[in-house]
Structure 1
Amino acid sequence: MTNVKTSSLGFPRIGLNREWKKSLEAYWKGKTDRETFLKEIDEQFFAALKTQLDQQIDIIPVSDFTFYDHVLDTAIMFNWIPERFKDLNDPLDTYFAMARGTKEAVSCEMTKWFNTNYHYIVPEYEKNAQYRLTKNKPLEDYKKAKTALGVETKPVILGLYTFVALAKGYETQDIKDIYQQMIPLYTQLLKELEQEGVKWVQIDEPALVTASPAEAAAAKEIYEKIKDNVSGLNVLLQTYFDSVDAYKELISFPVEGIGLDFVHDKGKNLEHLKAHGFPKDKVLAAGILDGRNIWKANLEERLDWTAELISGLGASEIWIQPSNSLLHVPVAKHPEEQLADDLINGLSFAKEKLSELTLLKEGLVSGKAAVQSQINDANEHLQALKRYGAATNTAFAEERDKLTEEDFARPTAFEERLRIQNESLGLPVLPTTTIGSFPQTAEVRSARQKWRKQEWSDEQYGSFIKEETKRWIDIQEDIGLDVLVHGEFERTDMVEYFGEKLGGFAFTKYAWVQSYGSRCVRPPVIYGDVEFKEPMTVKETVYAQSLTSKKVKGMLTGPVTILNWSFARYDLPRKEIAFQIAHALRKEVEALEKAGIQIIQVDEPALREGLPLKERDWNEYLTWAAEAFRLSTSSVQDTTQIHTHMCYSNFEDIVDTIEDLDADVITIEHSRSHGGFLDYLEQHPYLKGLGLGVYDIHSPRVPPTEEMLTIIEDALKVCPADRFWVNPDCGLKTRQPEETIAALKNMVEAAKQARDKLAQTV
């Protein structure tokens, strides 16, 4: 008889009411002292553990909880601290400086965690650095949980293979040297856990899902060397987000358990298991519930599927668990959530998913009859959800069904459009602009809350938004920006705002998810067909344009980003949902153009994050992603300039797709890449309009003019000056007004100096 246990791979850090975010930001602003901050963080650490204990989970993780980011935790733990931060003597100050930067030092690069919307801090390798184990965070967390709660937990560690794969600053030939330096440190960490009496440790190696057999063999050597010195500690080697290509190699690793994702694997992990078997002396940790979406599981189907898996496995023990860490979903259904019953009953957040696991375990151990009533309830909830979603279908779909190939392409080639737009827009060389949003101050947030609580009328709130818009139009005029924006003061979030105005979307009040650091978002819930109802941005954009003779950009979020940053329905292909959103946005683009707006930005910061992990799957996704963007933007006149924006990514992977978008101008986050993308552009020129961010907006630091001028001049070595734009990395929503104004003044001055130098060379 197979022993069945439930396991959690990781739990959200932020707390039901974002207590974690509030503690962090209060500490950063100096509103709480360090002692208070650490006390609050400890309380939140224990709250996350207790929630999992309350769901009767057998194997609970620790050390997934963090001050900022688990990859940064690993870097700090092994002294991967860049030289520019070495003059900071305080460990906590150093930690946050690497994440957020200082006045003197640029923060470490930030990028997406595999194909999710979570951002991690990129470790930086420095060849002559002295790496060492500075602290054993997993051990500290394990002891803390055991002392306070009397619970045996499973420390979670980011594996060495994945840590190096995520890092930057080294050449391929350096990898063996890095392993040679780091294996003794990982061994030391695990040896200390073993000596403490830890029973199981979870080592996360998601990078192994894309490893070739040769790469998996190199990773296996890491574990063999570690196991030579750590033999009394059970290791669960955990993979997720896709199937493991090198499955035969993986199951031969010298570990006691292997975790596989049976949700996002497209059925491949199960195929591998059936074809090659699974070691009877290892625990299979089976990811059977979707850890990245919020829909209630079909419990009957999951129970039958898992029972069949177990019957064919022949293993002495199996753990059932989510497909990945629950970091990517909200903590739990909030008692004050306001959603239709048929919708909320069909949802399952982190807490509820763990409860589903416990129910599935009972069904596996005691038989389906023991849980049949709960299964029946779940089935009814799913049927009610399906009926609720179907109720949104309208005649809008009929127009979408009549789209032809001509609707997916602009009729005029870019070079001709560029000539026409240069004449009609009258912009200077190296035009300056921002990405869209301006600081959302406490006053802005307070006004929105008063309006949402109906303490303010629509007229009061509308007047306030107009005042803020005018104030920042005047500020932009004073700074000397060439293309202005209205500031987006009416928007809480770049996806939420549009979803609230489209059919087929629902919005929660409390279902927050961490994006990066203390930044949390509430992803929309796409439960039905998407439909355009009425113009969403025209009023605010036209008002802003009426205040200035300069051009004001219309600001929209693109279809792929709306899809990737939403919890999307599971009963339609993602391509079809993207096209539905694109068709709705097309109506908005046309409404802006009709209202006289000549520059329209359709942002796609999440386009690359939706890229499948395996390169063989890229083309299908990138093809329909580009088609969706073009469907949104291709109905405009040649005189209308289409912009787009993308956030931190490995852009060289998708340059062909960026071309396929056929946008007139693309702006890209660039400053944290430390020039890496310029090296690529030197070999692979991009000849459409391009704006490379000249300063990092995720840091309170105000870069000097000279620093931004250097970035501009370096960019002009590989980018044509007649189509290069000067802009910050991203939107300025999270920054303070004073630092925003100071940084933009320096940016505009840098652009002026660059223009003067260009003029002197003519």
Structure 2
Amino acid sequence: MKSSNLGYPRIGEKREWKKALESFWNGEIDEKIFLDTMQSIRLNHIKKQREIGIDLVPVGDFTLYDHMLDTAAMFGFIPERFDYQGGEVPLSVYFAMARGNEKAPACEMTKWFNTNYHYIVPEWSKEQSSRLHITENKPLKDFREAKEKLGVEGKPVLIGPYTFMKLSKGYDEKQFSYFLSLLLPLYEQILKELEREGVKWIQIDEPILATSLTKKEMEEFVSVYERLPQAAPNLKMMLQTYFEAVDWYEELIKLPVSGIGLDFVYGLEKNLRHLSKSGFPEDKVLAAGVIDGRNIWRTDLSAASRLVEKILHSVPSERLWLQPSNSLLHVPVTTTYEKTLPLNLQQMLAFADEKLEELVYLTERFIDGEGKRAHYYAQNQQALHLWKKDASRYNANVHKECENLTKAQLERASSYLVRQKKQQEISQLPILPTTTIGSFPQTAEVRKARQKLKKGEWSQPQYERFIEAEIKRWIDIQEKIGLDVLVHGEFERTDMVEFFAEKLGGFAFTENGWVQSYGSRCVRPPIIYGDVEFLQPMTVKESVYAQSLTEKIVKGMLTGPVTILNWSFVRDDLPRHKVAEQIALALRNEIKALEESGISVIQVDEPALLEGLPLKEEKKQEYLEWAVRMFRVATSIVKDETQIHTHMCYCDFSSYLPVINQMDADVISIETSRSHGEMISVFAKETYPKGIGLGVYDIHSPRVPSVAEMAEMIERSLQVLNPEQFWVNPDCGLKTRKEQETVASLKNMVAAAKLVRARLLEEKKEWEEGKRYDAVKTSK
């Protein structure tokens, strides 16, 4: 039996990776220092895993930005707009694909399956397909580096061709097989070169197998993996799945690969049934994901040992690897720096390093017996026992409030059309009203102020005066720009989930529990350890202050219950929908407080609502029903005159418009700029009856789009949407942008909206005067 890892967090124990990346982008270090720093971080991660005792250490999982982007760059998948001249992809082109530049918008970014991580979407085109080539063999390069620098023969990791194709864009279903066939020779070349190097195992990740593939898709998948192993017969291939159980198990185990990796955490019951019913081939290794790679709770080693024993009924120990359920990319690096949490909670945490230690323990237990590590097991069981008895995790009032929730509390008082009329009579907003999603740039000054408060250098009143000054400054900026509906800017908020979690009961916070969201953007998810309780108003003070500074409407800004759930590390002793219900009821109290304080527009953001969708088709409906219900629990309390907004981003909206409509928000804003307006075509086929804002520019790029570019995006939207329902906004919050580019982009956005608004008003005037009618009649 061996211990194996699928992937390690990139960011470093103290976010060294993030800091090097941003220093390079800001011109503070040159390319050589940047690459040397990244190499040092990369090698340290490999060395640490080997020192912990992992037998099969991954190489090639480290990236300068994103692993899907790496794969695209390795195969020359460079869209023409980036002016790539061939050969090894320069960093300028690589990062332009991720972030955009002055000449070209970035590639689309979307969620990695149902996780909180975003990947860069590879783009196919006819012209590009004829230029595919291997720019560099990255798995081979990383394997050589680990061997030469550390003496470690690692296990190269590579995204599989079928997953890579399914997560790409730019082709229709008829072209899929053809484009896939163009990829396979490149994969074969990679495998041959690894075989010549003497690599023993390669891990090929095909998480697409955890989704609901059709019979035709699985037949196509089988044809790929009947071919690939033949290219390098002496190279052992571990075909790795994760995030769920596989559906086509019997087809999978017949493939001519040397090993298959299965998730026995998130796909536990189904994968165990597969093993029991169909067994496991005698010529293959099973890589069993027995440690949770997506949550931060300590493993119950007694339960894990029983699970391994069940697996051993089908697979002998010499053909079994124990590993996390998926790459440890999705959890923080180490609990070493967590010193401020309550002891019972602190003892219950296991981040990446601790999960690897658990794996080593389980592996050694089945090789050598309990032996010298008996104390490790005893500590584990004692911590679990104390945690189950911890009375601070239970709140009787919260449970009573959930029990008393009725169906009537899930409905707005009137229909959308009735509400819309009342809201417009009060707001008197122009056609194509302009607004932003909520946050404004978190400058160095804002971050320094927060640190001064944290270190005790500033008092709370001193800090609040600073925040009020920032709010006033940005209310003035918004009025000068000419925005119609303003926001207070969220300068008091470190993170859109953490801020609310800090003010609710049942949450705890790490000192250094950072995980990568996208690129250099790292977040520190709060921990839901107990029942979630509303304690006192959380946003009323700043919202009321901002509204007092202007005659224009200022939106109240909240994060929705499902997003708070999905962007936290969640307790594992209650169903997720029960935890979401507790959060929704807490937010319901906050929304009531905002309305009673005179805030007439309240935005409840749910960017992660669709992100949490199960990967299996048969599980999606149940999730969607309770997710929509939670939004309505939070928002249905308001009067008709109060306008509820929501925001969602980087998901497959096209398939879920009816679900979004059921949320019954008065206005929804969604991302369209990063996908180059492709969502617009959806509205040509399907009707959405409420207010909607399609983001007209990409905030994840420093690029400032022109007035003409945004006006063209608005005009395209109006081909399929009623001008009366259309809002103009960026595609996401502006927290990560710099002030100068934010102001410039918003000025252009408002100018674009006014340009199109003027045309619409002129047309309306011509219709009223009969000129437009006569012109149409004459043309006919």
Alignment TM-score, normalising by the size of structure 2:
0.96
Q: In structure 2, the residue corresponding to 1:23 is in which secondary structure?
A: helix
How well do the aligned residues superpose, as a CA RMSD in angstroms? 1.2
Residue 391 of structure 1: CA displacement?
4.2
Matched, 1:70 2:72: no
Q: Which runs of structure 2 are paired with 1:336-351 in the superposition (5 Å)?
A: 337-351=339-353
1:353 aligns to what?
Answer: 355
CA offsets 1:564-589 (integer angstroms, 9 cap, x no match): 00000000000000000000000000
Match of 2:772 in 1: none
With 104-113 and 271-280 compared, the bigger mean Cα shift is at 271-280
Give the Cα separation in 2 of the matches to 1:522 and 1:616: 32
Shift of 1:217: 2.1
Are 2:323 and 2:359, in contact at CA under 8 Å, matched by a contact in 1? yes
Larger deviation, residues 211-220 vs 506-515: 211-220
Q: 2:601 corresponds to which letter in structure 1?
A: I
C-alpha deviation, 1:394, in angstroms: 4.5
Q: What is the distance in 1 between the residues matched to 2:547 and 2:297? A: 42
Q: 1:409 deviation in Å?
A: 1.3
Who is 1:200 aligned against?
Answer: 201
Q: Residues 228-261 of structure 1: CA distance to partner in whole angstroms, max 9, x if unpaired?
A: 2211100000000011101111111110000000
Could you tell me how far 1:375 is from its partner in structure 2? 1.9
Deviations along 1:636-675, one digit per CA (max 9) or x if unpaired, are 0000000000011110122121011000000001101122
Residue 319 of structure 1 pairs with residue 321 of structure 2:
yes
Q: Using the TM superposition, give the Cα deviation of residue 370 of structure 1 relative to its aligned residue in structure 2, in angstroms.
A: 5.7
8 A contact 1:665–1:689 mirrored in 2:
yes
Match of 1:301, SS state, is: helix
Which shifted more, 433-442 or 388-397? 388-397
Give distance in 1, aligned partners of 2:342 and 2:18. 28
Q: Work out whether 1:186 is the aligned partner of 2:169.
A: no
Q: Return the alpha-carbon distance in structure 2 between the equivalents of residues 394 and 544 of structure 1.
A: 36
Equivalent residue of 1:120, what SS?
Answer: strand
Q: Is the 8 A contact 1:16 1:334 kept in 2?
A: no
Show the 5 A alignment for 1:468-547.
468-547=470-549
Q: Which moved more, 1:219-228 or 1:703-712?
A: 219-228
- Structure 1 distance, partners of 2:549, 2:388, is 47
Structure 2 CA distance, aligned partners of 1:688 and 1:389?
45
The worse-fitting range, judged by mean Cα deviation, of 141-150 and 305-314 is 305-314
User: C-alpha distance in 2, partners of 1:297/1:255?
Assistant: 30
Q: Whole-Å Cα distance in 2 between the matches of residues 628 and 471 of structure 1?
A: 35
Cross-structure match for 1:548: 550
Specify the code of the residue in structure 1 equivalent to 2:107. C
Matched, 1:40 2:27: no
What amino acid maps onto 1:421 in structure 2?
Answer: Q
CA–CA distance in 1 between the matches of 2:759 and 2:295? 52
Alpha-carbon distance in structure 2 between the residues aligned to 1:582 and 1:393: 16
In structure 1, the residue matched to 2:774 is none
CA contact under 8 A between 1:506 and 1:524: conserved in structure 2?
Answer: yes
| Count of paired positions | 759
Q: Which amino acid aligns with 1:250?
A: L
The alpha-carbon deviation at position 314 of structure 1 amounts to 4.0
- What does residue 171 of structure 1 align with? 172
- What is the rounded CA distance, in whole Å, between the counterparts of 1:456 and 1:585 in structure 2? 30
Between the aligned partners of 1:208 and 1:601, the Cα distance in structure 2 is 37
- Partner amino acid, structure 2, of 1:71: M
Describe the superposition over 1:183-227 as per-residue Cα deviations: whole angstroms up to 9, x where unpaired.
110000110010000000000000012223332221121122222
Cα distance in structure 1, aligned partners of 2:157 and 2:548: 56
Mapped partners of 1:9, 1:175: distance in 2: 28
Contact 2:338 / 2:346 at 8 angstroms: preserved in 1? Answer: no
Spell out, residue by residue over 1:321-344, the C-alpha distance to the aligned partner (whole angstroms, 9 max, x if none): 000000000001133532111101
* Contact 1:201–1:235 under 8 Å retained in 2: yes
User: 2:594 — aligned with what?
Assistant: 592
Structure-to-structure mapping, 1:261-410, within 5 angstroms: 261-314=263-316, 316-335=318-337, 337-368=339-370, 371-388=373-390, 390-410=392-412
Amino acid at match of 2:63: T
Task: Give 1:723 deviation, angstroms.
Answer: 1.2
Contact 2:506 2:532 in 1 (8 A): yes
Query: Which deviates more from structure 2 when the two are superposed, residues 33-42 or residues 220-229?
Result: 220-229
Q: What secondary structure sits across from 2:126 in the alignment?
A: coil
Q: How far apart, in 2, do the equivalents of 1:303 and 1:369 lie?
A: 15
Q: Structure 1's 389 and 724: CA in aligned 2 closer, same or farther, altered over 3 A?
A: farther
Distance 1:370 1:214, change over 3 A: farther
Structure 2: distance between partners of 1:741 and 1:696: 14
Deviations 1:139-164 (A, max 9, x none): 00000000010011000000000000
Mapped partners of 1:588, 1:419: distance in 2:
25
Instruction: Give the Cα–Cα distance (whole angstroms) in 2 for the partners of residues 529 and 314 of structure 1.
Output: 43
CA drift of 1:389 comes to: 6.0
Q: What is the aligned partner in structure 2 of residue 25 from structure 1?
A: 22
Tell me, in whole angstroms, the C-alpha distance in 1 between the residues paired with 2:317 and 2:510: 42
Describe the SS at the equivalent of 1:619.
helix
Are the equivalent residues in 2 in contact too, given 1:113–1:120 (CA < 8 A)?
A: yes
Superposition deviation, residue 88 in structure 1:
6.6
- The range that moved more, 226-235 or 152-161, is 226-235
1:414 corresponds, among 416, 419, 422, to 416
CA contact (8 A) 2:258 2:285 kept: yes
CA distance in 1, matches of 2:391, 2:258: 44
Counterparts of 1:213-232 in structure 2, within 5 Å, are: 213-232=215-234
In the alignment, the residues of structure 2 paired with residue 176 and residue 330 of structure 1 have an alpha-carbon distance, to the nearest angstrom, of: 38
Per the alignment, residue 769 of structure 2 pairs with: none
Measure, in 1, the Cα distance between the counterparts of 2:431 and 2:65.
40
Instruction: Measure, in 2, the Cα distance between the counterparts of 1:718 and 1:368.
Output: 67
Matched, 1:8 2:5: yes
Structure 2: how far apart are the matches of 1:378 and 1:312? 27
Separation in structure 2 between the aligned mates of residue 368 and residue 644 of structure 1, nearest angstrom: 53
Give the aligned residue type for 1:352. E
Q: d(CA) in 1 for partners of 2:645 and 2:600?
A: 11
Aligned equivalents of 1:274, 1:444: Cα separation in 2: 57
1:241 corresponding residue in structure 2? 243
In 1, Cα distance between equivalents of 2:388 and 2:466: 40
C-alpha separation in 2, matches of 1:227 and 1:263: 28
Structure 2 distance, partners of 1:79, 1:541, is 49
Aligned to 1:162: 163
CA distance in 2, matches of 1:383, 1:315: 30
Identity of aligned residues (%): 56
For 2:264 and 2:684, the matched residues in 1 are separated by 42
Per the alignment, residue 108 of structure 1 pairs with 107
Alignment partner of 1:56 out of 32, 50, 53: 53
Query: Would you say the 8 A contact 1:585–1:632 is kept in 2?
Result: yes
- 5+ residue gaps, structure 1: none
| Native 8 Å contact 1:5 1:58 kept in 2 | yes
Contact 1:556 1:603 in 2 (8 A): yes
1:695 touches 1:703 (CA, 8 Å); kept in 2?
Answer: yes
**Structure 2 unmatched runs, 5+:** 765-780
| SS, match of residue 569 in structure 2 | coil
User: Secondary structure at 1:727's aligned position in 2?
Assistant: coil
User: 1:212·1:246 contact (CA, 8 Å) conserved in 2?
Assistant: no
Partners of 2:125 and 2:7 in 1: CA distance? 30
Aligned equivalent of 1:144: 145
Among 454, 466, 485, the residue aligned to 1:452: 454
Offset of 1:399 from its aligned partner? 2.7
1:10 aligned partner, one-letter code:
G
Cα pair 1:687 1:719 within 8 Å, conserved: no
Aligned with 1:464 (options 463, 466, 474): 466
- Displacement of 1:396 in angstroms is 3.7
Give the equivalent residue in structure 2 for 1:118. Answer: 117
Q: Which letter does structure 1 place at the counterpart of 2:404?
A: K
Distance of 2:672 and 2:388 partners within structure 1: 43
Contact (CA 8 Å) 1:334, 1:510: kept in 2 or not?
no
CA distance in 1, matches of 2:756, 2:703: 22
Where does 1:511-660 land on structure 2 (aligned, <5 Å)? 511-660=513-662
Aligned-pair distance for 1:724?
A: 0.7
Q: Does the 8 Å CA contact 2:413/2:639 hold for their aligned counterparts?
A: no
Q: Give, in angstroms, the shift of residue 369 of structure 1.
A: 6.2
